[in-house]
Amino acid sequence: MPSSSKAGGPGDEKHLVCVTGAGSFIGSWVVKELLDRGYHVRGTARDPAHRKNAHLLELDGAEERLTLCRADVLDYGGLRAAFQGCRGVFHVASPVSNDPELVRAAVEGTRNAINAAADAGVRRVVFTSSYGAVHMDPNRSPETVVDEACWSDYEYCKRTGNMYCYGKMMAEIAATEEAAKRGLELAVVVPAPTVGPLLQQTVNFSTDHVARYLTGAKKVYTNVVTAYTDVRDVARAHALVYEHPGSPGRRYLCVAAVLHRAQFLQLLRDLFPQYPVTSKYEDDGKPMARPYKFSNKRLRDLGLEFTPVRESLYDTVISLQQKGHIPLTAPVPKRARL
Ligand SMILES: NC(=O)c1ccc[n+]([C@@H]2O[C@H](COP(=O)([O-])OP(=O)(O)OC[C@H]3O[C@@H](n4cnc5c(N)ncnc54)[C@H](OP(=O)(O)O)[C@@H]3O)[C@@H](O)[C@H]2O)c1
């Protein structure tokens, strides 16, 4: 199979691929999506036997086609061993926080992953970037349609202490440069803050963002707009860009909606009025931030139908209830009402 043709998909032998950070919120759904599509999957985790990864072994097809192995992204040798015999790699693992320490794992970890993939004879890598590498530019005109050509202003990220966005942007640049040097096919999925049901037991940063409003831990909201996407769409996007290689280094913006925080909270209140979602606004004296335009056309052209954010939020809340992260305070509304 030539490297520019489909890397997998209907009619093709379903081969072995590796997913780093397999137990993460997004990684777990990527593993599930790939298993559902018939691939053999090797997932990496720093401690594969830890109970936080046990949900992976329960997935349909896992018994026959999933293995887990140990790898820290800061250890080239571990990644090299994990990628041995794989035709594709999905590099998802990266710490999500605002600790400046994460920059090293994001950037050096990505360099290690790309080089280990090239050395192991992998054909194609899908890198999970972040919308943080795209939207943080204070000088962008509000009329701009945010798309794959947009990049954050890294000086601005650093100046404002947004080390997560800075780290992901530097990691995406490192992935692109290293892949070009090593002649590796690379596709980059750029997800917005991601919501939707959890496969793992613990909350991650983006689902905790929702949980904190529902429990009343967040007492006020601010004048911000945020983009959202559904974790199931993010996983589908990873599989689609893997199976339909475009030009090398191609980015794919995975964004379903941009909402002002007031709209986001109103949606939560409409769906689940039983929770103490704050309506206290911290006025910054500025005009209301306006949701900007964006384009997710590249992924729609590959056949991705984005889940409406209302549905994603509904499923996030139900999942948070089921996993015991928020109290089940009242009968849940019927999904049919969505
Ligand atoms: N969630 C979002 O809203 C969002 C949006 C855009 C992009 N992303 C990106 O999507 C990816 C996953 O995010 P998530 O929210 O699903 O993450 P998560 O649930 O917080 O999990 C983080 C993952 O990174 C792994 N990791 C951290 N440091 C590592 C290291 N040194 N070596 C190996 N693995 C390491 C962790 O592995 P262990 O299990 O071994 O600890 C874990 O699997 C990240 O690249 C993130 O930047 C997330």
Q: Which domains does the chain have, with CATH numbers?
A: 16-322 (3.40.50.720)
Which residue among 19, 31, 94 is best mutated to probe the pocket of ligand 1, counting the most ligand atoms within 8 A of its Cβ? 94
As a whole number of angstroms, the distance between CA 106 and CA 233 comes to 23
Residues 199 and 28 sit within 8 Å (Cβ to Cβ): yes
pLDDT, tens only, 308-325: 999 999 999 999 999 999
Q: Ligand 1: does its nearest atom lie under 6 Å from the Cβ of 73?
A: yes
pLDDT > 60? residue 299: yes
Of 158, 168, 280, 323, which one is the catalytic site residue? 168
pLDDT, tens only, 119-144: 999 999 999 999 999 999 999 988 99
| Mean pLDDT of all residues belonging to the chain | 92
Q: What are phi and psi of 40, to 5 degrees?
A: -90, 130
pTM over 0.85: yes
Residues 214 and 272 sit within 8 Å (Cβ to Cβ): yes
Phi-psi region of 216 (alpha: psi -120 to 50; beta: other; left: phi over 0): left
Quote the pLDDT of residue 333: 58
Element (H, E) at 298: helix 297-301
Quote the pLDDT of residue 87: 96
As a whole number of angstroms, the distance between CA 127 and CA 113 comes to 10
How many Å lie between the centroid of ligand 1 and the Cα of residue 128?
9
pLDDT, tens only, 36-48: 999 999 999 999 9
| Share of residues in the chain with pLDDT > 90 (%) | 86
